[in-house]
Structure 1
Amino acid sequence: MRSHAPPSRGIPPRGSHDKPRHPFPRIFFLVCVILISKVGVLLSEESENPPDSSPKYSATLTGLESEPRIHAEILERLVTFRSQDEPPANRPLLARQVERDRQKLVDIMKSKGFFDVEVTAGIEGAEQTLEARFVVTPHERYRLDPPELQLEPPDSRFHPPAWESLDLHAGLPAESARILLAGDALIQAAHDQGFPQARMIKRRVTRDPQTHRIQTRFHLDTGPRVHLGDVVIDEPGEVDIFFLKRRVPWNRGVPYHPKRIEETRLAFTGTGLFGVVRVRLAEQPDDRGLWPVLVELKERKPRTWRAGAGFSTDRGMEVNGGWEHRNLLGAGERLKSDLKLGVRTVTINNTLDIPDYVQRGQNLKFSGKLDRSVEEAFESVALELGAGLVRQVFAPGGEGSLSLHYRLSEVLDLSKEDKTSYSLLSMPLALTLDRSNDPLDATRGWRLFGEIAPNLAVTGKSVHFLRSSNKISRYASWSETPDLVLAGRAELDVTLGAEQNDIPADNRLYAGGGSSVRGYGQQMAGPLDDSGRPVGGRSLLAVGAEARYRFTETMGGVAFVDAGRAYTTVLPDWNETMLVGAGLGFRYLSAIGPLRLDVGVPLERRGAMDAPWQLYMSIGQAF
Structure 2
Amino acid sequence: MLHAGQYEQVYAFEATGTAESNGSEYELYQDKVPPRPSVRKVRFEGNDTYPAMVLQEIIATEAPGFFRKLLFWKKEGFEYAENELRRDVIRIRNFYNRRGFLDARVQYDVYTGRKPHFRNVIFLITENEPIRIDSIHIRFRADDETVESITSDRSYNRALRQNPLREGNRYELIRFPDVENLFLDTFRNLGYAFPKISMQGEVDSLARSAVLNIELDPGPKSYFDTFEVEGAETVSEDYILRESDLRPGDMFTQRKLINARREVFGHHLFRFATVGLPEQPRDSTVHVLIRVREFPLRSIELRGGLGSEEIVRGLVSWTHRNPFATAHRFSVTLRGSFIEQRANMEYLFPYVINTYGSFSVSPFAQRLNETSFLLQKGGVNNSYIYQYRQNLVGTIGYEYSQNKLITRNTDAALPDSTQFFNVSSLQLSGFYSQSFIDQGQGWAIRPNAEISGFFGTGTLQFEKLSLDVRRFINFSRRTQLALRIDSGILFAREIDQLPANILLYTGGSNSVRGYGRNQVGPKRAVFNSAGDFETYLPVGGSSRITFNTELRQELGFLMRGFGMVVFLDGGQVWSDYDDTRLHDLKFGAGAGLRYRSPIGPIRLDFGYKLNPDDEDLQIYDGVEYGGRLARWGIHFSIGQAF
Say whether the fold is shared (TM-score over 0.5): yes
Residues 89-128 of structure 1: matches in 2 within 5 Å? none
Distance 2:13 2:223 in 1: 66
Q: Which residue of 1 aligns with 2:551?
A: 547
After superposition, give the CA deviation of every residue in 1:277-325 in whole Å (9 maximum; x if it has no partner): 2222243479x96322111111122444333334444443333332333
Q: Which residue of 1 aligns with 2:269?
A: 273
Q: Which runs of 5+ in 1 are unaligned?
A: 1-47, 56-64, 123-132
**3-state SS of 1:533 partner:** strand
Code of the aligned partner of 2:447: F
Is 2:445–2:467's contact at 8 Å kept on the other side of the alignment? no
Distance 1:405 1:184 in 2: 48
Distance 1:544 1:135 in 2: 45
Code of the aligned partner of 2:342: T
Q: Which residue of 1 aligns with 2:461?
A: 464
Q: Which residue of 1 aligns with 2:429?
A: 430
1:335 equivalent to 2:334? Answer: no
Distance 2:359 2:269 in 1: 18
Code of the aligned partner of 1:538: S
Residues 276-287 of structure 1: matches in 2 within 5 Å? 276-284=272-280
After superposition, give the CA deviation of every residue in 1:14-44 in whole Å (9 maximum; x if it has no partner): xxxxxxxxxxxxxxxxxxxxxxxxxxxxxxx
Q: Structure 1 residues 147 and 77 mapped into 2: Cα distance closer, same or farther (>3 Å)?
A: farther
1:308 equivalent to 2:303? Answer: yes
Q: Structure 1 residues 309 and 541 mapped into 2: Cα distance closer, same or farther (>3 Å)?
A: same
Q: Structure 1 residues 211 and 582 mapped into 2: Cα distance closer, same or farther (>3 Å)?
A: closer
| Cα drift, residue 174 of structure 1 | 7.0
| Cα drift, residue 535 of structure 1 | 2.1
Residues 394-405 of structure 1: matches in 2 within 5 Å? 395-405=389-399
User: Equivalent of 1:478, from 475, 481, 488?
Assistant: 475
| Cα drift, residue 503 of structure 1 | 0.6
Q: Which residue of 1 aligns with 2:110?
A: none
**3-state SS of 2:512 partner:** coil
**3-state SS of 1:231 partner:** strand
Distance 1:136 1:513 in 2: 53
Distance 2:206 2:466 in 1: 72
Q: Which residue of 1 aligns with 2:446?
A: 448
Q: Structure 1 residues 319 and 278 mapped into 2: Cα distance closer, same or farther (>3 Å)?
A: closer
Distance 1:546 1:364 in 2: 37
Distance 1:172 1:269 in 2: 40
Code of the aligned partner of 2:425: S
Mean CA deviation greater in 326-335 or 426-435: 326-335
Residues 1-150 of structure 1: matches in 2 within 5 Å? 52=11, 144=134, 147=137, 149=139
Distance 1:512 1:347 in 2: 23
Distance 1:546 1:173 in 2: 38
Q: Structure 1 residues 183 and 502 mapped into 2: Cα distance closer, same or farther (>3 Å)?
A: closer
Q: Which residue of 2 aligns with 1:235?
A: 231
User: Equivalent of 1:597, from 589, 604, 627?
Assistant: 604
Q: Which residue of 2 aligns with 1:39?
A: none
| Cα drift, residue 258 of structure 1 | 2.5
Q: Which residue of 1 aligns with 2:365?
A: 370
Code of the aligned partner of 1:409: N
Residues 406-425 of structure 1: matches in 2 within 5 Å? 406-415=400-409, 417-425=416-424
Is 1:376–1:533's contact at 8 Å kept on the other side of the alignment? yes
Is 1:443–1:485's contact at 8 Å kept on the other side of the alignment? no
Code of the aligned partner of 1:228: F
Q: Which residue of 2 aligns with 1:254?
A: 250
Mean CA deviation greater in 234-243 or 587-596: 587-596
Distance 1:454 1:470 in 2: 18
**3-state SS of 1:510 partner:** coil
Code of the aligned partner of 1:404: Y
Code of the aligned partner of 2:605: D
Distance 1:389 1:276 in 2: 25
Is 1:484–1:547's contact at 8 Å kept on the other side of the alignment? yes
| Cα drift, residue 569 of structure 1 | 1.1
Q: Which residue of 1 aligns with 2:24?
A: none
Code of the aligned partner of 2:407: D
Q: Structure 1 residues 178 and 406 mapped into 2: Cα distance closer, same or farther (>3 Å)?
A: closer
Q: Structure 1 residues 615 and 263 mapped into 2: Cα distance closer, same or farther (>3 Å)?
A: same
Distance 2:367 2:447 in 1: 27
Q: Which residue of 1 aligns with 2:589?
A: 582
| Cα drift, residue 425 of structure 1 | 0.9
Q: Which residue of 2 aligns with 1:194?
A: 191
Code of the aligned partner of 1:430: S
Distance 1:341 1:357 in 2: 32
**3-state SS of 1:383 partner:** strand
Q: Structure 1 residues 458 and 255 mapped into 2: Cα distance closer, same or farther (>3 Å)?
A: closer
**3-state SS of 2:607 partner:** strand
Code of the aligned partner of 2:224: L
**3-state SS of 2:191 partner:** coil
Distance 1:403 1:188 in 2: 38
Q: Which residue of 2 aligns with 1:616?
A: 635
Distance 1:250 1:298 in 2: 19
Is 1:144–1:174's contact at 8 Å kept on the other side of the alignment? no
**3-state SS of 1:530 partner:** strand
Q: Structure 1 residues 550 and 337 mapped into 2: Cα distance closer, same or farther (>3 Å)?
A: farther
Q: Structure 1 residues 601 and 457 mapped into 2: Cα distance closer, same or farther (>3 Å)?
A: farther
Code of the aligned partner of 2:11: D
| Cα drift, residue 339 of structure 1 | 1.9
Q: Which runs of 5+ in 2 are unaligned?
A: 1-6, 15-45, 63-78, 108-123, 411-415, 527-535
User: Equivalent of 1:380, from 375, 379, 394?
Assistant: 375
Distance 1:214 1:253 in 2: 44
Distance 1:328 1:235 in 2: 19
| Cα drift, residue 404 of structure 1 | 1.5
TM-score, scaled to structure 2: 0.68
Q: Structure 1 residues 155 and 425 mapped into 2: Cα distance closer, same or farther (>3 Å)?
A: closer
| Cα drift, residue 378 of structure 1 | 0.8
**3-state SS of 2:139 partner:** strand
Code of the aligned partner of 1:193: L
**3-state SS of 2:241 partner:** helix
Code of the aligned partner of 2:417: D
Is 1:431–1:450's contact at 8 Å kept on the other side of the alignment? yes
Distance 2:206 2:351 in 1: 67
State the superposition RMSD in angstroms.
4.8
| Cα drift, residue 51 of structure 1 | 8.0
Q: Which residue of 2 aligns with 1:317?
A: 312
Distance 2:233 2:574 in 1: 55
| Cα drift, residue 348 of structure 1 | 1.2
Is 1:229–1:290's contact at 8 Å kept on the other side of the alignment? yes
| Cα drift, residue 421 of structure 1 | 0.8
| Cα drift, residue 184 of structure 1 | 6.1
| Cα drift, residue 474 of structure 1 | 1.8
| Cα drift, residue 426 of structure 1 | 0.9
TM-score, scaled to structure 1: 0.70
Code of the aligned partner of 2:405: V
Mean CA deviation greater in 166-175 or 419-428: 166-175
Distance 2:205 2:341 in 1: 84
Q: Structure 1 residues 136 and 349 mapped into 2: Cα distance closer, same or farther (>3 Å)?
A: closer
Code of the aligned partner of 1:541: I
After superposition, give the CA deviation of every residue in 1:309-355 in whole Å (9 maximum; x if it has no partner): 34444443333332333333444423333322333432213322211
